[in-house]
Amino acid sequence: MADEPFVLPKSPTPLELRREFIKAGQPHFNEIRDKFCEVNGDIIEEHYYPDTPAAAILVRSRRERRLFGRRWFTKGAYKLHVNYSSAEATPSFAAALRSARQEEHKNSALLRSRAQEIFAQTIYSVIVHLLGILDLVSREREEASRDLTSQPDLEWLDQRQSQEAEAAEKDITEAKAFATSAVRNSAITFYIIGLPLGVALVTMLIFGLLLVRDLADGQLAVCLAAGAIGALLSVMTRITNNGQVDVAIERTRWMTVLAGAFRPAVGAVFGAAIYVLILGGLIPFKEAVGTGTTFYFTGLAFLAGFSERWAQDTIVQSTPSSAATP
């Protein structure tokens, strides 16, 4: 019977690549591989297993760019393409493979550049090793099924899978910790980028207030500046203290930049609010008199910007309670 004509798949899968790879002479492997690269990106590493239907491919995607009618591609993120059958895997072994895939999917969108490459390479190595064990199990079981003279003890295969799954979970945990640290450091970087934007906003607000004729002493403007400086110093202190800055790593880059811009603006507003509330008699602080008035309010404004929690607690505790209903 003549062989069926070859039809190039529109979007080849890793198993289709494996099937052509293990064929004698690999008649259509290069064609399918080129098509796979066209659809998914450049192949960095690839591994195909002879005794079990499994394949693992690490690719780097391409990003299409267009400008003035010109079109070109730039290098994108790393991504894993993995196919395998878990029919012969123990529950713990299958769980380790799923955990590796889940961590890769989750962190591939959060990590960038070199950190994303390191994480993808680490998870790829773990998956390749686990699939190698699965290939070994399949080969040993196949050989045992052909041995009709004895009943070989294959319990060691399950033990080996359990041991490898435990070791893989440790590697995945370490990779996860690395990814979390890298994502947090990236978020802190974009948070810091937003700080100058907040300073610029506060500066414009201060100049606007100084143009007001009724603001002869400029104390409110001084409190705004002191609050912003206190907020900046608070962030700088936390960064030098092992990066202990409260930044949500799930936010987008622009949201993180915006959060950084808000920090000096919020500190400035708290500094001005403390000044206004004390003058209005709404906060029970003893108002300074004489030459120390400027330093007194400037110091309070700095503290309000430096510690948002202190400013919030001070304002909330001084809020007039509602009148009792008869």
- Indicate whether 130 pLDDT > 90: yes
pLDDT at 291: 56
- How many other β-carbons are positioned within 10 Å of the β-carbon of residue 162? 15
Phi-psi group of 281: left, alpha or beta (phi > 0 → left; psi -120 to 50 → alpha; rest → beta):
left
- Collapsing DSSP states into helix, strand and coil, what is residue 284? coil
What are 184-203's pLDDT values in tens digits? 888 888 889 999 999 999 99
**Greater confidence, 64 or 195?**
195
**DSSP state at residue 78:** E
Report percent pLDDT > 90 for the chain: 36
Residue 118: alpha-carbon gap to chain centroid: 14
Q: For the residues 163-192, what does the mean pLDDT come to?
A: 90
Report percent pLDDT > 70 for the chain: 84
**DSSP state at residue 255:** H
pLDDT at 54: 93
What are all long-range contacts of 292-297, with beta carbons under 8 Å and residues at least 24 apart? 293/219, 294/219, 294/222, 297/219, 297/222, 297/223
Residues 155 and 72: their CA atoms lie apart, in Å, by: 55
- Indicate whether 30 pLDDT > 50: yes
Phi-psi group of 248: left, alpha or beta (phi > 0 → left; psi -120 to 50 → alpha; rest → beta):
beta
What are 206-244's pLDDT values in tens digits? 888 777 655 545 788 889 999 999 999 988 888 887 656
- Indicate whether 325 pLDDT > 50: no
CB 119 within 8 A of CB 182: yes
